[in-house]
């Protein structure tokens, strides 16, 4: 991919002039295309909540029955008898306007992964939907795709939709609200978290192969829409609920062992956000070798692999002596399993891609605020 990195390209990637100048100040140089892409997705509203965080902080999050509040893949509350309810709600508004079926379906798939990532078996889906004037052809198109996407993904995975609500108002003519929710049940003593730990522990990729779908999906989801919204269709992910079902069963089977140190869904910003969040929460570094990432397309670049939002993928940190056990489980369920990295004490994310280039990117997690310092 040949592009000149400058303020104009940064603006196309969703960065303001002030944000791009901050990138230059942090790095002391012009970033590479891959580095710019990483900044843009991690500084997007979808990943960093930069405009909504102030409002989210006003919501109640603590109580005697709250086991895990904000900061993990899903919320966890005590429901008695040693059990916990694990739940997550997520919006997939922009993707559902551009590509209604896949936009809504992958919204369901994403929150299912957030819930079983915590060690819970998903038992119920819910939704809250807002559409525009139902007499408009565009609204009818969106309703049809969204309803089929939500129902289709949940039915294929085998998790029922037990409740929902729907409202119509002209204010939503240009963009619907598509809120999906999943609830799961877990043992309170078997909750899995995402903070990476253990210098030298292997970083493992499991699930589906990485493709070119969904690249810059987080950036698109954070942008304002105009008459050219349809051109953003390639940024919408493509879901495979049958693979998701296999992934649920494989992960829950592995969770019954003592192999997992940390686990994270590859959601928005894909491999980038999952690696960075795990490293940041654990206060460690990760060295990734993209040559080991399972790929379903040929000639993929570091930019594409780091920003792909292909669905049904997870990142794990495993105990070194348990990788063979984990590999056997995922291969039994016909899923990809690859050791793609290792934890380090550098506090950097080091990304190598020697198949196409010998260049190495060193990405440093800037505290816990979705910021990067990048050096050669």
Read off the CATH number of the domain in which 215 is found.
3.90.650.10
113: domain CATH number? 3.30.1330.10
pLDDT for position 323: 98
Q: Is residue 31 domain-resident?
A: no
Better-predicted residue by pLDDT, 218 or 94: 94
Report which of residues 255 and 56 the model is more confident about: 255
Q: Residue 240: pLDDT above 90? A: yes
pLDDT exceeds cutoff 70 at 218: no
**Are 185 and 206 found together in one domain?**
no
pLDDT at 19: 94
Lowest mean pLDDT among 154-163, 229-238, 322-331: 229-238
Q: What is the pTM of this model?
A: 0.87
Read off the pLDDT band of 236 (50, 70, 90). confident
Which tens digit of pLDDT belongs to each residue from 37-54? 988 988 888 788 888 889
pLDDT on residue 84: 98
Taking only Cα atoms into account, the Rg of the chain, rounded to an integer number of angstroms, comes to 20
- Indicate whether 137 and 286 sit together in one domain: no
Whether 118 shows a pLDDT value over 90: the answer reads yes
Task: Output the CA torsion sign for 192, 197, 202, 203.
Answer: positive
Domain ends where: 190, 205, 221? 190
Of 171, 190, 209, the position where a domain reaches its end is 190
User: Does one domain contain both 251 and 116?
Assistant: no
My answer on whether 185 and 198 are in the same domain is no
DSSP string, 28-88: SSPPPHHHHHHHHHHTSHHHH-TTTHHHHTTS----TTEEE-BTBSSEEEEEETTEEEEEE
Residues 292 and 144 placed together within one structural domain of the fold: no
Please state, rounded to an integer, the average pLDDT across all residues of the chain: 88
Q: Is 19 a domain residue?
A: no
- pLDDT value of residue 140: 96
Do 86 and 235 reside in the same domain of the chain?
A: no
pLDDT tens digits for range 120-169? 999 999 999 999 999 999 999 999 999 999 999 999 999 999 999 999 99
**Mean pLDDT, range 22-32, rounded to an integer:** 91
- Mapped onto helix, strand or coil, the DSSP state of residue 12 is helix
Q: Tell me, yes or no, whether 49 lies in a domain.
A: no
Angle formed by the axes of helices 241-255 and 323-332, to 10°?
150
Tens digit of pLDDT for each residue in 169-212? 999 998 999 999 999 999 999 999 999 999 999 999 999 999 99
Q: Which helix (H) or strand (E) holds 364?
A: strand 360-365
Q: Do strands 285-289 and 348-352 pair parallel, antiparallel, or not at all (unpaired)?
A: parallel
Q: Which of 5, 11, 8 is nearest to 219 (CA)?
A: 11
Has residue 182 been placed in a domain?
Answer: yes
What is the band of 261 on the pLDDT scale with cuts at 50, 70, 90?
very high
3-state secondary structure (DSSP) of residue 180: strand
| 146 and 264 fall within a common domain | no
Note whether 116 and 181 are same-domain residues: yes
Q: How confident is the model at residue 349 (pLDDT cuts 50, 70, 90)?
A: confident
Q: What is the mean pLDDT of residues 209-218?
A: 78
Q: Which residue has the higher pLDDT, 2 or 67?
A: 67
pLDDT band at residue 27 under the 50/70/90 scheme? confident
Instruction: Judge if 265 and 300 occupy the same domain.
Output: yes
pLDDT of residue 231: 46
Within 10 angstroms of residue 22's Cβ, the number of other Cβ atoms is: 15
- Based on the domain organization, do 182 and 206 belong to the same domain? no
Q: Could you tell me what percent of the chain has a pLDDT over 90?
A: 74
Domain count, the chain: 2
Residue 1 lies in a domain: no
Q: Name the pLDDT band for 268 (thresholds 50, 70, 90).
A: confident
Domain residues for 144? 62-190
Q: Is residue 57 part of a domain?
A: no
Are residue 120 and residue 143 in the same domain, yes or no?
yes
Catalytic (active-site) positions: 46, 92
Identify the domain boundary among 158, 190, 222: 190
Residue 356, pLDDT score: 54
Q: Which of 187-196, 221-230, 285-294, 314-323 has the lowest average pLDDT? A: 221-230
Confidence of residue 225 (pLDDT cuts 50, 70, 90): very low
The answer to whether residue 286 scores a pLDDT higher than 90 is yes
What local confidence, expressed as pLDDT, does residue 371 receive? Answer: 39
Distances (CA, A) of 60 to 90, 182, 244, 298: 18, 20, 32, 47
Instruction: Please say whether the beta carbons of 57 and 232 come within 8 A.
Output: no
d(CA 325, CA 276): 26
Looking at the domain assignment, is residue 52 inside a domain? no
In 156-234, at which residue ranges do the beta strands (DSSP E only) sit?
A: 161-168, 177-187, 202-207
Q: Are residues 186 and 197 in the same domain?
A: no
For residue 319, being part of any structural domain is answered with: yes
Determine the Cα–Cα distance for residues 96 and 34; give it in Å rounded to an integer: 27
């Amino acid at each position: 991919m040949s592009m000149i990195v400058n303020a104009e390209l940064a603006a196309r990637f969703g960065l303001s002039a002030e944000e791009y100048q901050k990138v230059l100040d942090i790095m002391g140089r012009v970033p590479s295309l891959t580095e710019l892409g990483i900044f843009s997705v991690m500084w997007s509203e979808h990943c960093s909540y930069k405009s909504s965080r102030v409002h989210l902080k006003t919501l109640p999050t603590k109580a005697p029955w709250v086991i895990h509040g904000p900061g993990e893949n899903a919320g966890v509350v005590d429901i008695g008898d040693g059990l916990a309810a694990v739940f997550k709600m997520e919006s997939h508004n922009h993707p559902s306007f551009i590509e209604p079926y896949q936009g809504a379906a992958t919204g369901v798939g994403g929150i299912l992964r957030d819930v079983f990532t915590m060690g819970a078996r998903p038992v119920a889906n819910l939704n809250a939907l807002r559409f525009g004037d139902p007499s408009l052809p565009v609204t009818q198109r969106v309703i049809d795709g969204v309803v089929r996407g939500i129902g289709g993904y949940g039915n294929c995975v085998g998790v029922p939709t037990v409740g929902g609500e729907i409202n119509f108002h002209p204010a939503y003519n240009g963009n619907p609200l598509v809120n999906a929710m999943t609830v799961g049940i877990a043992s309170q003593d078997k909750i899995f978290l995402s903070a990476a730990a253990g210098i030298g522990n292997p970083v493992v990729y499991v699930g589906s192969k990485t493709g070119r779908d969904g690249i810059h999906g987080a950036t698109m989801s954070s942008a304002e829409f105009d008459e050219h919204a349809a051109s953003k269709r390639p940024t919408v992910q493509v879901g495979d609920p049958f693979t998701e079902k296999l992934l649920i069963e494989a992960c829950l089977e592995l969770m019954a062992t003592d192999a997992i140190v940390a686990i994270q869904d590859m959601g928005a910003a894909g491999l980038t956000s999952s690696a960075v969040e795990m490293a940041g929460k654990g206060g460690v570094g990760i060295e990734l070798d993209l040559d080991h990432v399972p790929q379903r397309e040929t000639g993929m670049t570091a930019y594409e692999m780091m920003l792909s939002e292909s669905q049904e993928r997870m990142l794990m940190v495993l105990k070194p002596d348990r990788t063979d056990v984990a590999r056997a489980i995922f291969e039994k369920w016909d899923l990809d399993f690859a050791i793609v990295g290792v934890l380090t004490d550098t506090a950097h994310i080091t990304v190598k891609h020697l198949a196409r280039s010998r260049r190495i990117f060193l990405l440093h997690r800037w505290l816990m605020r979705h910021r990067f310092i990048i050096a050669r």
